Amino acid sequence: MSDVEQICQLKYRYLRTLDTKEWDAFGATLTEDVEGRYAGLDLDGRDTLVDYMRQNLGPQVVTLHQCHHPEIEVDGDTATGRWYLQDKVIAPDFDYVLEGAGIYADRYRRVDGEWLIAATGYARTYELTWSLKDLPSAKVTLAPRHDPV
């Protein structure tokens, strides 16, 4: 597999494990000194970043993160990437929904032969929020988390 393909797989795993709340696997996509810059939220270090996500995107918060159109440049054991992000956050306990898009900018580092995310973050292109109370027929069903195969 090429370096670019490995980096794409890494980013997809980062997104999947974030949405499925697999915190150990999510952390395994990051360098120990990772920098997270999420539309004004700064998180430095793997433990800090993972703990923040675990506390704020827990099992009662539904998230969907999709990245498309990777632009990846590899230079030896480092690389940069840009991705188009589409995301949705549904927090039924707060009657809150967020939908948005943005551009991710990442830096990657090869550590012991494996690509990891050394810096990641996005700048929003738009954000739309609404209350589930505005949709009287809205019903959120949290599905059990399991591997379908």
Domains of the chain by residue range = 3-84+106-123
Distance separating alpha carbons of residues 146 and 9, to the nearest angstrom: 20
Q: Is the pLDDT of residue 146 over 80?
A: no
Phi, psi of 38 (to 5 degrees): -110, 90
Distance separating alpha carbons of residues 122 and 4, to the nearest angstrom: 20
Residue whose C-alpha is closest to residue 26's, from 3, 45, 53: 53
DSSP one-letter code for 61: S
Q: What kind of architecture, by CATH, is found in domain 3-84+106-123?
A: Roll (3.10)
pTM to 2 decimals?
A: 0.92
What would the pLDDT profile of 18-30 be if each residue is shown by its tens digit? 999 999 999 999 9
User: Residues near 127 by Cβ (< 8 Å), separated by ≥ 6?
Assistant: 39, 98, 99, 100
- What is the residue-averaged pLDDT of the chain? 94
Distance separating alpha carbons of residues 82 and 72, to the nearest angstrom: 7
What would the pLDDT profile of 68-123 be if each residue is shown by its tens digit? 999 999 999 999 999 999 999 999 999 999 999 999 999 999 999 999 999 999 99
